[in-house]
Amino acid sequence: MNPAPDARAATADVVVVGSGIVGLGAAYAAVRRGLRVIVVDRTDGPSGATIRNFGHLCIGAQTGEARRYADLSRELWLRLSADAGFWLRESGTLVAARHDDELAVLEAASLHEDPRGGIRMLDADELLRLAPLRREGIVGGAHIATDLQTDPRAAAGAIVTHLAALGVEFRFRTAVTALAAGRVDTTRGAISTEHTVVAVNHDIDQLLPEIAERRGIQRCALDMIRAAVSLRHSLPAPLLTGWSLVRYGRFADAPETAQPTARLRERLHAERPDLAALDLNQMYTQLPDGSLIIGDSHATATTTSPFQPEAAFSAFLAEAEALFDMPAPRVLERWQGVYAKGSTEFLVERGDDGALVLAATTGIGMTTGLGLAEENLTAAFGWAPALEGTS
Ligand SMILES: Cc1cc2nc3c(=O)[nH]c(=O)nc-3n(C[C@H](O)[C@H](O)[C@H](O)COP(=O)(O)OP(=O)(O)OC[C@H]3O[C@@H](n4cnc5c(N)ncnc54)[C@H](O)[C@@H]3O)c2cc1C
């Protein structure tokens, strides 16, 4: 049972609103500076986008600001995994190419030097040795070295437990209703604080509607499946396809790849308008229990439709069966995830009340969220580097 509001401390150095990966990153940054941190979330544990994704930490496919946050996140993910004791692997990412134009994009990207580990081209035989795919249609692929994979449901819970052990107080089943300078109002009383961080993902339009409207934030709803599969061997890394290449900055925006990627998008959309209408990112991650996460579709609106058309799920299963050398997958779970979508990749703002507002405003918050929080809290609050020896 939650204690009465007045039985709990009503002051903190840092109050974080939201216990998703961005809020957890903010709490981690603050507690490593020896600060007293309270995380407030209206749910009884992380249950937003942070537990609904692929667990794909897709570092090598980012550019610019996203790559900077992703590189910093990578260090933080590795450290958290070791200290909090959750599964995470330095798997890299595999990309399956089924057309020469997909190889052309990968080749253009692979020629670009990346000191932190780049993209290595694979011929069809090598890819087929690594990934349990059908031979038909595969023309080659690539391995992106820097990427990581985790199980998002297990990771989020373990990070909460670890942060609580470091001294972070979590106030779950408590909604934040208003922010003022030095104060956070919640459904269980007010908290006085030196710093406030808002990390509420798409629900920023509920708490700070002016910022959401000015930044054009909408909700992007994604359908997902987890299925039991019989593969000839397990998938050693997240697997992307041509439908993924057209989405990520490293391929879609970088000068050396933008043109071949535009041609690839044109061909995919002309050949498969049904999949283009779903705004498909055909990709897969296999969890330690052997089940396969399959996704995903994208539908953007201010309010998400609660109705999930079967077309997306049917397409996921048909495409998975065509790509992998396996009998029909058996669906274990279907769900919808939502993330904030804006015209830029990130929202970093100071509200009128002084709160630092952070969100990944495209679908890469699991990859970038820890670094987004670390870098921006340090800059906004004028902090020194984190205390050494505090993990
Ligand atoms: C299906 C899907 C697949 C994805 N795949 C990937 C992937 O493979 N790799 C990748 O990098 N990214 C992926 N993403 C994106 C990534 O999951 C998100 O960008 C990231 O998890 C967002 O984290 P967050 O902390 O901002 O939000 P969330 O995890 O949604 O957390 C926000 C929290 O704020 C709380 N909250 C909101 N309002 C209030 C309030 N007023 N008071 C108290 N609490 C409040 C909510 O309860 C929630 O717990 C995917 C997203 C989805 C949906």
Span 63-87, pLDDT tens digits: 999 999 999 999 999 999 999 999 9
Same domain, 223 and 210: no
Stretch 3-8: mean pLDDT, rounded?
53
| 122 assigned to some structural domain | yes
Q: How far apart are CA 133 and CA 231, in angstroms?
A: 9
Residue bearing the CA closest to ligand 1, atom 37: 200
Q: Which residues contact 19 (CB under 8 A, 6 or more apart)?
A: 39, 41, 43, 45, 46, 156, 160, 170, 172
Kindly report the average pLDDT of the chain as a whole number.
95
Closest ligand 1 atom to 186 CA: 42
Dihedral angle of Cα 301, 306, 309, 313, to the nearest 10 degrees: 100
Asked, for residue 1, whether it belongs to a domain, the answer is no
Is 85 found in the same domain as 197? yes
**Residue closest by Cα to atom 21 of ligand 1:** 50
Residue 112 has what pLDDT? 81
Residue 3 lies in a domain: no
Q: Which atom of ligand 1 is nearest to the CA of 295?
A: 1
pLDDT at 311 over 50: yes
pLDDT in tens, 283-299: 999 999 999 999 999 99
Residue 349 has pLDDT above 70, yes or no: yes
Q: Are residues 121 and 171 in the same domain?
A: no
CA of 357 to the centre of ligand 1 (A): 14
By alpha-carbon position, which residue is closest to atom 15 of ligand 1? 363
* Residue 45, pLDDT score: 94
Regarding predicted confidence, which is higher, 118 or 130? 130
> With the C-alpha atoms ordered 224, 230, 236, 240, is the resulting torsion angle positive or negative?
negative
Ligand 1 mean position to 50 CA, how many Å? 4
CA 227 to chain centre: 20
Ligand 1 site-directed mutation target among 40, 54, 177, most atoms within 8 Å of CB: 54
Residue of the nearest CA to atom 14 in ligand 1?
A: 363
Res. 4: pLDDT tops 90: no
206 lies in some domain: yes
pLDDT tens digit string along 130-145? 999 999 999 999 999 9
Q: Are residues 283 and 328 in the same domain?
A: yes
**Of the residues 302, 323, 341, the one at which a domain ends:** 341
Which of ligand 1's atoms lies nearest the C-alpha of 22? 25
Query: Residue 116: what pLDDT?
Result: 66
Do 357 and 252 share a structural domain? no
**Residues 139 and 154 grouped into a single domain:** no
Q: How confident is the model over 183-195, as a mean pLDDT?
A: 97
Q: Is residue 374 one of the residues assigned to a domain?
A: yes
What is the signed CA dihedral for 306, 243, 345, 221, rounded to 10 degrees? 0
**For the residues 292-314, what does the mean pLDDT come to?**
95
Ligand 1 centroid to residue 259 C-alpha, Å: 32
Percent of the chain residues past pLDDT 90, beyond the cut: 92
pLDDT digits (tens, 9 = 90+) for 247-285: 998 899 888 899 999 999 999 999 999 999 999 999 999
259 and 323 together in one domain: yes
- Considering only CA atoms, which residue is closest to atom 24 of ligand 1? 20
84-104: pLDDT as tens digits: 999 999 999 999 999 999 999
**Domain annotation covers residue 320:** yes
- Name the nearest CA neighbour of 143 among 224, 236, 72, 68: 236
3-state SS, residue 270: helix
Q: Whose CA is nearest to atom 44 of ligand 1?
A: 41
Which stretch of 11-20, 114-123, 337-346 has the lowest confidence by average pLDDT?
A: 114-123
CA of 314 to the centre of ligand 1 (A): 25
At 387 the pLDDT is: 60
Report which protein residue has its CA nearest ligand 1's atom 38.
Answer: 200
Question: Which CATH number fits the domain that encloses residue 324?
Answer: 3.30.9.10
In a domain, 6, yes or no: no
At residue 389 the predicted structure's pLDDT band, cuts being 50, 70 and 90, is very low
166 and 69 in a single domain? The answer is: yes
Atom of ligand 1 nearest to the CA of 50: 21
The last residue of one of the domains, among 326, 341, 356, is 341
Q: How confident is the model at residue 7 (pLDDT cuts 50, 70, 90)?
A: low
Q: Are 232 and 203 in a shared domain?
A: no
| Whether residue 75 sits in one domain with residue 27 | yes
Pocket-testing residue among 40, 50, 62, 149, ligand 1, by greatest number of atoms within 8 A of Cβ: 50
Question: What residues does ligand 1 touch, defined as CB less than 6 Å away?
Answer: 17-23, 40-43, 46-50, 52-54, 56, 58, 175-176, 199-201, 203, 206-207, 222, 224, 296, 337-339, 359-360, 363-367, 369
Whether the predicted pLDDT of 113 surpasses 80? no
Q: Which two tokens stand for residue 94?
A: 């595999």
Residue nearest to atom 50 of ligand 1 (CA): 53
Q: State pTM to two decimals.
A: 0.96
Let me know whether 68 and 116 are in one domain.
no
Q: What's the number of domains the chain is made of? A: 2
Give the whole-angstrom CA distance, residue 175 versus residue 42. 4
* Cα(241) to centroid(ligand 1), Å: 24
Q: What is the CATH number of the domain that holds 61?
A: 3.50.50.60
User: Given the DSSP bridges, would you call strands 189-198 and 11-17 parallel, antiparallel or unpaired?
Assistant: parallel
Ligand 1 atom index nearest CA of 176: 42
- How far does residue 126's CA lie from ligand 1's centre (Å)? 36
Q: Are 69 and 163 in the same domain?
A: yes
**Structural domain of 372:** 12-91+148-215+342-390
Contact 147, 248 (CB under 8 A): no
From 39, 316, 358, 366, mutation site for ligand 1 pocket: most ligand atoms within 8 A of C-beta: 366
CA torsion, points 312, 317, 322, 325, in degrees to nearest 10?
Answer: 150
Q: Is residue 5 part of a domain?
A: no
Query: Is the four-CA dihedral 145, 146, 152, 154 of positive or negative sign?
Result: positive
Give the pLDDT band of residue 1 (cuts 50, 70, 90). Answer: very low
pLDDT (0 to 100) of residue 305: 92
pLDDT score at 390: 45
CA nearest ligand 1 atom 30, residue: 48
